[in-house]
Amino acid sequence: MKKILIQLDTDAHPSTFDAIVAHDAGVDELLRYGGIEPDAVRGLVQSAFFTRGPDDLSTLAVWVGGSSVGEGEEVLREVEKAFFGPFRVSAMLDSNGCNTTAATTVARLAREIDLNGRRVVIVGAGAVGLRAAKLLIDEGCDVTVSGIPAARFRDRAYRRAGGLTVAKERGMDIAEPADDEELKQVLDGASLVLAAGPAGVEVLPEAVWRTIDSIEVMADFNAAEPLGIEGTDAQDDLEEHDGKRVLGALAIGGPKMKVHKACVRRLFESNDAILDVDGIYEIAKELA
Amino acid sequence: MKKILIQLDTDAHPSTFDAIVAHDAGVDELLRYGGIEPDAVRGLVQSAFFTRGPDDLSTLAVWVGGSSVGEGEEVLREVEKAFFGPFRVSAMLDSNGCNTTAATTVARLAREIDLNGRRVVIVGAGAVGLRAAKLLIDEGCDVTVSGIPAARFRDRAYRRAGGLTVAKERGMDIAEPADDEELKQVLDGASLVLAAGPAGVEVLPEAVWRTIDSIEVMADFNAAEPLGIEGTDAQDDLEEHDGKRVLGALAIGGPKMKVHKACVRRLFESNDAILDVDGIYEIAKELA
Amino acid sequence: MKKILIQLDTDAHPSTFDAIVAHDAGVDELLRYGGIEPDAVRGLVQSAFFTRGPDDLSTLAVWVGGSSVGEGEEVLREVEKAFFGPFRVSAMLDSNGCNTTAATTVARLAREIDLNGRRVVIVGAGAVGLRAAKLLIDEGCDVTVSGIPAARFRDRAYRRAGGLTVAKERGMDIAEPADDEELKQVLDGASLVLAAGPAGVEVLPEAVWRTIDSIEVMADFNAAEPLGIEGTDAQDDLEEHDGKRVLGALAIGGPKMKVHKACVRRLFESNDAILDVDGIYEIAKELA
């Protein structure tokens, strides 16, 4: 029986990346959908249930992707709401690569350093940053999610991250530094710092991070220039810069791809895996 | 040479059900199209003709699906109009499962009882009901297609079935009972009754069907609660209720799936099969 | 590793023809996109780069198709603009079959006659005609691209071909005959004439071409009635008509299909082939 993945993508054109990696992970057939809105989900998912017996539902799975993590989360909720009785299939969310990126990065850090009790600042409150924050809190870190000083946005219009509000609602500590001086105060005492700003924004200038003695490790989610952490390299794989080890975004590219494929394969091992941030982190830790 | 099925679906997102069953029936590649309007059909079908020689056209076929039977019928007409000379491919219509459901149900009844000369009332004049009516007339039944008393629609707005008009145009006997008392009169003398109302409408209350002594067998196209026939079970496979045998919608689920797959395979045995209600019924009778 | 072709089609529904031929040419998986606008291209192409290592990029390729050659050309430009560093994949443009048709026809003529120094008139300045003109100029022909006399458009509204302007911009000789008498003057002295008008327009009446003694060979891109060259047959494979050899559109159908498939296979032999008119012509000449 062919392994069939239903690719629900919230963008108009479903991702080539997710499709190719699915094939490379052993999926036999992809049913690809673009422009998915939440109200289309129930019909597409429930129709799939009645094609094969309840005992064969592990041969079907749902993938949720697209560039908007918020829309993806809504779609995943609808996928789960479509389940009833024995009728359910495994599903995974990785809109914008948010979960595989956050999980692989934290798993890589957890292998390298003891996370428990560590003070962490995550600068930038986008979807990847919030997911990393959640995982680090679960690992026993003392996490602060920090906004990005307005001046860091250069010629871009300042967009106040709604993510800080979300972080607060989830009970996380937040900080809203107005400028680099205030950012330094937020960072003071942190041993682990993650740069999780939007693409194109340098969130940590050298003049800031070099002055913070407490920092031991920094990780950057940004792969393209300008990087999130000035003066580092996207390929840094815990290379030292001024005594601080740096994990660049490209250094986790290989492990992230392994995690991604392992997750897709896991979808077809049962019909009840929901691979959101926690499930993906478990797999990332096994592979790290 | 790969067996390729062109899935023309009138819904915005092409059906997962039809796609998965096509793969399970041995189709190698699906070319899936959603939001198909009649004027897009000719180009898509004729383009396919010129890819392989006329001798290999049985390796290509067209599937017409979607939730609207009326739109599907229009699309199938356009598919047939696109044929010319030796250039034609097999095609099947099963929008909303109408044909496989009607054909499998009637074939199941034909195996169980002698249909010839039997008086039948079909309550509800949707696409499945009208297809069942057609097949039963061909089997020698004396069929009346009946509307549903307005009160049966409970809190739903009453939608007068345009299907009754269609049935009349096709020369079928119709009835339009105003209430359950009139419905009883319509049913009186019928030995076979089919509940073919829309999902969510109980068309035959126990208080009605229990009083009609002539009824021997009842079939219900509704699989979800509330069932079309009160006091029965969707799993009933000619189980007796008050001396009447009942065929529930779920009881034909397995046979319907077999018919569906056999039909898809049949599409690739020649390049000139048009599987609408009659062609599908022939296959259903072979399998029943 | 599966060979995956990303089908970017500028029509709302991606071509069945291109999809089926791609499968027949050995592509393992197609990622099919309809309604492609130029600004969607970069994301779809670049996302694909990061799925497999730079050494494996020859297992991925891009196909550009659809009924509008102009839109296809814009999409191909965007595909090439998405490349950076080692990140590129092979790509092919064949919107409306323009390149495989022009290349196969000219390659067939080049095998049959010595093109060098020959005077050629191409009547009609559509996408296929302009591509043929380009190839013939490269083969050393003295080419004139001619408009079509208004009267030839019968009951159709006369559409002045923007193609003549394009031909002029590209430094080609053009002619704009007002009627058949002027067309005869344009044709006088030509030994090779190509009918490249739009479908449904007879561009060369017998009364015109029979009077031009210099014509030795005529080719017609039109496969459907009325043909572009009156009094010939679409199946003519250099059959003589009044002492002139005629190459009909259907005669190149078989070779065109071979060229098409060879091109698709070529896409997967490296990651840097751009198969537009020249690249496709090279392959057509190898096969002719």
Question: Could you tell me which chain C residue has the CA closest to the CA of B44?
Answer: C16
> Alpha-carbon distance C174 to C144, whole Å?
5
Q: Measured between CA atoms, how close is A96 to chain B, in angstroms?
A: 22
Q: Can you give the length of chain B in residues?
A: 288
List the alpha helices (DSSP H) in A85-205: 98-112, 127-138, 162-169, 180-187
Q: Residue C153: which pLDDT band, with cuts at 50, 70 and 90?
A: confident
Mutate which of B16, B17, B28, B94 to disrupt the A interface (most A C-beta within 10 Å)? B16
Spelled out in words, what is the top-level CATH class assigned to the domain C99-251? alpha beta
- Are A95 and A131 in contact by the 8 Å Cβ rule? The answer is no
- Residue A16: its H or E element: helix A16-24
Residue A195 near chain B (CB below 8 Å): no
pLDDT for residue C263 is more than 90: yes
Residue A29 near chain B (CB below 8 Å): yes
CATH 3.40.50.720 domain residues, chain B: 99-251
Q: Number of helices (H) and strands (E), helices first, in chain A?
A: 10, 12
Q: Residue C281: which pLDDT band, with cuts at 50, 70 and 90?
A: very high
> Alpha-carbon distance B245 to A62, whole Å?
40
pLDDT for residue C159 is more than 60: no
pLDDT for residue B58 is more than 90: yes
Question: Could you tell me which chain C residue has the CA closest to the CA of B33?
Answer: C13
**CATH placement of domain B4-97+255-287:** 3.40.50.10280
Q: Is the dihedral of CA C79, C84, C89, C92 positive or negative?
A: positive
Question: A23 vs C2: CB contact, 8 Å cut-off?
Answer: yes
Q: Is the dihedral of CA A186, A191, A195, A196 positive or negative?
A: negative
- Residue C182: its H or E element: helix C180-187
3-state helix, strand, coil in chain A (%, to 5): 45, 20, 40
Taking residues B261-284, what's their average pLDDT?
Answer: 98
Mutate which of C2, C9, C11, C13 to disrupt the B interface (most B C-beta within 10 Å)? C13
Q: Residue C53: which pLDDT band, with cuts at 50, 70 and 90?
A: confident
Residue B199 near chain A (CB below 8 Å): no
DSSP assignment letter at A85: T
Question: C20 vs B36: CB contact, 8 Å cut-off?
Answer: no
Residue with tokens 């300045």: C125
Q: Which residues of A touch C40 (CB under 8 A)?
A: 12-13
Question: A40 vs B12: CB contact, 8 Å cut-off?
Answer: yes
pLDDT for residue C10 is more than 70: yes
Q: Measured between CA atoms, how close is C21 to chain B, in angstroms?
A: 6
Q: Residue B261: which pLDDT band, with cuts at 50, 70 and 90?
A: very high
C neighbour chains, 3+ CB pairs within 8 Å: A, B
- Are C66 and C41 in contact by the 8 Å Cβ rule? The answer is no
Taking residues C205-223, what's their average pLDDT?
Answer: 96
pLDDT for residue B155 is more than 80: no
The angle, 0 to 180 degrees and rounded to 10, between the axes of the packed helices C277-287 and C253-267 is 120
Name the region of B178 (left: φ>0; alpha: ψ -120 to 50; beta: rest). Answer: alpha
Q: What is the pLDDT of residue B151?
A: 83
Q: What is the pLDDT of residue A110?
A: 97
Question: Among residues B78, B138, C45, B163, which one has the least CA distance to residue A16?
Answer: C45
Q: CA B90: distance to chain centroid? A: 19
> Alpha-carbon distance C253 to B259, whole Å?
39
Q: Can you give the length of chain C in residues?
A: 288
At a CB cut-off of 8 Å and minimum separation 6, what does A55 contact?
A: none
Alpha-carbon distances of A17 from A14, A24, A68, rounded to whole Å: 9, 11, 15
At a CB cut-off of 8 Å and minimum separation 6, what does C85 contact?
A: none
Residue A250 near chain C (CB below 8 Å): no
Nearest to B51 among C13, C24, C30 (CB): C24
Q: Which long-range contacts (CB under 8 A, 24 or more apart) does C153-157 make?
A: C153/C201, C154/C201, C154/C202, C156/C200, C156/C201
Q: What is the pLDDT of residue B160?
A: 57
- Are A90 and A61 in contact by the 8 Å Cβ rule? The answer is yes
List the alpha helices (DSSP H) in A39-156: 41-49, 69-81, 98-112, 127-138
B neighbour chains, 3+ CB pairs within 8 Å: A, C
User: 10 Å Cβ neighbour count for C252?
Assistant: 27
% pLDDT > 70, chain B = 97
Q: Measured between CA atoms, how close is A39 to chain C, in angstroms?
A: 23
Q: What is the pLDDT of residue A150?
A: 86
> Alpha-carbon distance C260 to B51, whole Å?
11
Mutate which of B51, B55, B60 to disrupt the C interface (most C C-beta within 10 Å)? B51
> Alpha-carbon distance C14 to C11, whole Å?
6
End-to-end CA distance of chain C: 32
Question: C24 vs B50: CB contact, 8 Å cut-off?
Answer: no
DSSP string covering A203-250: -B-HHHHTT-TT--EEEE---SSSPSBTT--TT-EEEEETTEEEE-TG
Q: Measured between CA atoms, how close is C17 to chain B, in angstroms?
A: 5
pLDDT digit of tens for each residue in chain A (288 aa)? 999 999 999 999 999 999 999 999 999 999 999 999 999 999 999 999 989 988 999 999 999 999 999 999 999 999 999 999 999 999 999 999 999 999 999 999 999 999 999 999 999 988 999 999 999 999 999 999 999 998 887 655 555 558 899 999 999 999 999 999 999 999 999 999 999 998 889 999 999 999 999 999 999 999 888 999 999 999 999 999 999 999 999 999 999 999 999 999 999 999 999 999 999 999 999 998
Q: What is the pLDDT of residue C160?
A: 56
Q: Which residues of C touch A20 (CB under 8 A)?
A: 4, 31, 48, 51-52, 60
| HSE toward the beta carbon, residue A155, CA cutoff 13 A | 0
Predicted ipTM? 0.93
Residue A92 near chain C (CB below 8 Å): no
Q: What is the pLDDT of residue A43?
A: 96
Taking residues C234-244, what's their average pLDDT?
Answer: 96
Q: What is the pLDDT of residue A156?
A: 57
Interior/surface letters A158-195, b for 16+ CB within 10 angstroms, e for the rest = eeebebbebbeeeebebbebeebeebeebbeebbbbbb
Question: C40 vs A15: CB contact, 8 Å cut-off?
Answer: no
Q: Which residues of B touch A10 (CB under 8 A)?
A: none
Q: Which residues of B touch A36 (CB under 8 A)?
A: 13
pLDDT digits (tens, 9 = 90+) for C96-149: 999 999 999 999 999 999 999 999 999 998 899 999 999 999 999 999 999 999
User: What is the strand order of the sheet B237-241 is part of?
Assistant: B173-175, B142-146, B119-123, B192-195, B217-220, B244-247, B237-241
Mutate which of C20, C23, C24, C27 to disrupt the B interface (most B C-beta within 10 Å)? C20
Burial group, residue B216, by CB count within 10 angstroms (0-12, 13-18, 19+): middle
pLDDT for residue C156 is more than 70: no
List the alpha helices (DSSP H) in chain B: 16-24, 41-49, 69-81, 98-112, 127-138, 163-169, 180-187, 206-209, 253-267, 277-287
pLDDT for residue C157 is more than 60: no
> Alpha-carbon distance A43 to A75, whole Å?
12
Question: A13 vs C33: CB contact, 8 Å cut-off?
Answer: yes
Burial group, residue C105, by CB count within 10 angstroms (0-12, 13-18, 19+): buried
Residue A6 near chain B (CB below 8 Å): yes
Q: Name the 3-class secondary structure at B64.
A: strand
CATH 3.40.50.10280 domain residues, chain B: 4-97+255-287
pLDDT digits (tens, 9 = 90+) for C246-260: 999 999 999 999 999
pLDDT digits (tens, 9 = 90+) for B158-216: 555 588 999 999 999 999 999 999 999 999 999 999 999 988 899 999 999 999 999 99
> Alpha-carbon distance B263 to B278, whole Å?
12
Q: A-B interface: how many C-beta pairs under 8 angstroms?
A: 39
A neighbour chains, 3+ CB pairs within 8 Å: B, C
Q: Please give the model's pTM, rounded to 2 decimal places.
A: 0.95
Q: Which residues of C touch B40 (CB under 8 A)?
A: 12-13
pLDDT for residue C277 is more than 90: yes
Question: A253 vs C50: CB contact, 8 Å cut-off?
Answer: yes
Choice between C160 and A285, residue whose per-residue pLDDT is larger: A285
Q: Which residues of B touch C30 (CB under 8 A)?
A: 29
β partners of residue B239? B246
Q: Is the peptide bond before A226 cis (omega within 30 degrees of 0)?
A: yes
CB contacts under 8 A, C 59-78 vs A, are 60
Q: What angle do CA C31, C33, C38 make, to 5 degrees?
A: 125
